[in-house]
Structure 1
């Protein structure tokens, strides 16, 4: 239910000459004519001024501003100006923001819906060209209403649903409880117009004056077909000698389902389903019965092909009257269920005679030119003439109820990959498998972290720079698994609306991914430092200075931490929460400017590729260094024997970089692949890439401790000492 306010505006001073307002309810008043008279404030009017009519629309349910239209008075010299306006109110808010006007602290610069002109939309209780005039304290609107302007020192008030009057202090008489059936909502119209009686807004699935009529319920299941985010349902009604009529509506398909349900209150005979620009036959009925439940499964065999597929070009290029003579062949010989051309859609009755109906294939799905879909998304409405709801079908690489979020770029977040599968009352297969993987990784991560810290907390294990790096790596791996688990469960709880506190959601959006990214980068760099330090030790041999190396390693850890923070700081400052009211979700979105996007992508790759290359080159150099020892023996057999001996001796130096390179390869491939996550229905590849990026941080004990005899002895020594302490306590 909307309140539509008509204002006669003096363009120079932005003062309101006069106003009027009406209540408009789309389900009942669509297409209705209204006559509104707006009078100039003086007699005669000031002919030196220019005037315009401004129309503001407000939602009475939420008491929110919905949009503004502006119509200039082209011939101000005339004593009377008549305007015939068709006002199309979009289903969703239309608030194009601008910054060209200085509207002060009590207004906002906006564009009109029907033009590129801009104006200052003042806050509640303020008015004027730059929103500097405050409403008089003597005359104020009721606290739960809106003050949308001032005329003749009196406020213009927009009342909530249950109030009326010039200042919204009068309460409306409530409806009788028995008026609206089937949980319908009773709405009382403006008491100033006795002809407008109370009426009912019905729940989905019911219609009629008192919501007493049960609508036809249609369940559509897609089998062995690609699943779209929405389907179009075309209802065709044959009227005998009169031209047939067509009604088109849409049905949403949740990301974890392959079916949708729609309701229709009007009569129909045929149902055709359309998605991915392909038509399918769904249902035929000879008689219409209200309240019927229709369940249909759409299969590939139900597809309606184009005549371009059925006939050669000599027939398709014929004039329509000559071409249509060949259509019975499709039904009788080719045994097709349905087909279409550029003007008709045809159904084969008993594989014999085609029944063809006029069908416009060139409909533009842009919600009457007021599409709120972004990034090329198509806007669908549930009714062509009088819509009450709408939705967006997004192109590849975009998501959200308005297609406002991209799904391409480096380092896809868990929010994007897993978030759409989490619903308050469902447990999809993707979510269940993800929970199992996270629990397994958490257990492995804690075991790995505890065992690694137990090993490298001894003084002897930290007697080298490698030991210091690995000690810091052990602490980092524990932090990674804690932050990772926290991230996952906060996402689950927030998307299931168990956690709704906005402060908690904002903090986790701002910090969790930032800390996780820094920790993963630090883990990669510390492991790379170990590989690099071991290569230097092999190359220098007896000339290697262990004390100097230990001293330098402490500074390197601090420098790496600061470098990671500086090159990742763009992440938290670019994050914010976005409320998707239509989808009833709160998304944590990171949006970079063009320069920050280049900076972010460059350093994302740098923090990943550089440690990867260091580990790869370290393994290669160690193998080359061992192979160079062949000069101690000229015999091929003796060289092979010596090489195997050296390889076995230095295997702990070689295992770590090779394992890290192998574990990093999947993440490298996913990061460098072009394109994006095109569909939420196929998240496995990107989910695998996200989870596998944590594995190198969870296997440091296996990678560094078990292959090394020194570290293995230190672990056993620390483990026995811990065991003795526990026995002493018990």
Structure 2
């Protein structure tokens, strides 16, 4: 119905019924428009209720809106600034992976409650973390993993702050703030004694070792007092960063617990890949393994470009050579002897083999570069191209024999 409702409204006559009068149509108003004729405009965001340069978005209800802002703020109108942690780390310890854990202290049960954790290949020089709380986590731990399995996991206590809103500091990761395992503080004859030892008796370790800052056992994280007359111990679960997403027995390290894809795999020897899915055992390797290091480097764009260019050149040269061979040896005189028949068949087999090889290289480059990233189709194409390439190579080898 035209002429009754406002612009962009939808009105239907004779819809209200006789009791309210058929002469009044029922209208569906456009966004931010209200009233029987949709002529009242009300935009909750016109007053810009979002603070700190936040963006306001109205919703269906007249009195409601949604704010979006940067990660530094939170709240309904993004009026609250998140407490932040900024730690500049001077690291001097060799490692292949690092996990940073943020804990709150339950002062009743003395448990360490994991608030957040981050996983890295290399411990960054700057740690930044913001959260929607009034105070920062009381304890921050760094766990460093070594490439040598026989070396123990290294714990470092880099922050202990109670009721603090923000941290800006420079931290050293070295032996001074390392939380060593309690077994290294005991002699070999004390192993059985440690298994039955109570944390209440840990006080003498701090008294006898004035350079000791913290230590840990299988269940507790212990921190020496400033005067080394006692120890504060907290129940600690060392498996917070463990997961089971890696293949081939690789060690899985979990990052953010709210992100299923945030994990890191430490692969055993002769294995590589994000999930340890590639193997080089028995002198066998795939194209993914062969180009894995180059395709995961910072020069990814250049590597993919060269990979595609070289593949096209190989295909062009092989195509020209095989066409000439096919045209030459297809004549009846050449096919009268075994050598001519062999060269004629090899021109066809060689072209099929190089075609599958070039297609597999191009598919590998496009997949790693992200131009074709559907997991199901990538898996199917990888298997089809790989199987076809293997078959064509085996046929070529059998023919040569």
Aligned to 1:359: 235
> In the alignment, what sits opposite 2:394?
524
Q: Is the 8 A contact 1:349 1:355 kept in 2?
A: yes
Within the candidate set 261, 281, 288, 2:156 is matched to: 281
Report if the CA contact (8 A) 1:328-1:353 is conserved: yes
Distance in 2 between the 1:471 and 1:298 partners?
Answer: 68
**Deviations 1:252-290 (CA, angstroms, capped at 9, x unpaired):** 437xx6648551333245421236593522523668775
Which structure: larger Rg? Answer: 1
Residue equivalent to 1:484: 357
Aligned pairs (5 A) from 1:688-707: none
5+ residue gaps, structure 2, are: 1-30, 33-41, 146-151
Distance in 2 separating the partners of 1:271 and 1:298: 12
RMSD: 5.6
Give the direction of change, closer, same or farther, for the CA distance of 1:272–1:519 in structure 2 (3 Å limit): closer
- Alpha carbons 1:442, 1:485 under 8 Å: kept: yes
Counterpart CA distance in 1 for 2:273 and 2:58 is 35
Distance (whole Å) between structure 1 residues aligned to residue 326 and residue 318 of structure 2: 12
3-state SS of 1:305 partner: strand
Q: Is the 8 A contact 1:456 1:467 kept in 2?
A: no
Do the aligned residues in 1 keep the contact of 2:48 with 2:56 (CA within 8 Å)? no
Shift of 1:183: 6.5
CA distance in 2, matches of 1:235, 1:514: 48
The one of 226, 233, 243 equivalent to 2:101 is 233
| Aligned counterparts of 1:176 and 1:291: Cα–Cα separation in 2 | 34
**Structure-2 change in CA distance of 1:520 and 1:243 (3 Å):** closer
Q: Does structure 2 conserve the Cα–Cα contact (< 8 Å) formed by 1:378 and 1:392?
A: no
How far apart are the structure 2 equivalents of 1:415 and 1:181? 49
Query: Match for residue 325 of structure 1?
Result: 204
Shift of 1:306: 1.0
Give the SS at the match of 2:399: helix
Secondary structure at the residue paired with 1:458?
helix
Is 1:310 the equivalent of 2:189?
no
Cα separation, partners in 2 of 1:180 and 1:223, compared to 1, 3 Å: farther
Local SS of the residue matching 1:326: helix
CA offsets 1:4-25 (integer angstroms, 9 cap, x no match): xxxxxxxxxxxxxxxxxxxxxx
Unaligned runs of 5+ in 1: 1-161, 164-171, 532-730
CA contact under 8 A between 1:213 and 1:290: conserved in structure 2?
Answer: no
**1:337/1:348 contact within 8 Å kept:** yes
Compute the displacement of 1:309 (Å).
1.9
Residue in 2 that maps onto 1:263 = 129
Deviations 1:230-255 (A, max 9, x none): 7241335698x99686443121437x
Offset of 1:492 from its aligned partner?
Answer: 3.5
TM-score normalised by length of structure 2: 0.57
| Change beyond 3 A, Cα 1:526–1:339 | same
Separation in structure 2 between the aligned mates of residue 518 and residue 224 of structure 1, nearest angstrom = 47
Task: Give the alignment partner of residue 339 of structure 1, picking from 201, 215, 219.
Answer: 215
1:253 is the counterpart of 2:253: no
TM-score, normalisation: structure 1: 0.35
Spell out, residue by residue over 1:142-172, the C-alpha distance to the aligned partner (whole angstroms, 9 max, x if none): xxxxxxxxxxxxxxxxxxxx99xxxxxxxx9
Q: How many residues align?
A: 336
Output the CA distance in 2 between the equivalents of 1:208 and 1:415: 46
Inter-partner Cα distance in structure 2 for 1:250 and 1:175:
36
2:304·2:366 contact (CA, 8 Å) conserved in 1?
A: no
In the superposition, relative to structure 1, how do residues 381 and 414 fare at CA in structure 2: closer, same or farther (>3 Å)?
A: same
In 2, the alpha carbon distance for the partners of 1:219 and 1:326 equals: 31
Q: 1:252 to 1:479 in 2, by over 3 A?
A: farther
- Return the alpha-carbon distance in structure 2 between the equivalents of residues 482 and 443 of structure 1: 12
C-alpha distance in 2 between matches for 1:252 and 1:326: 31
Tell me if the contact between 1:205 and 1:216 (Cα under 8 Å) persists in the aligned partners.
no
Relative to 1, partners in 2 of residues 1:187 and 1:380: Cα closer, same or farther, differing over 3 Å?
farther
Residues in 1 aligned to 2:379 and 2:303: alpha-carbon distance in whole angstroms: 24
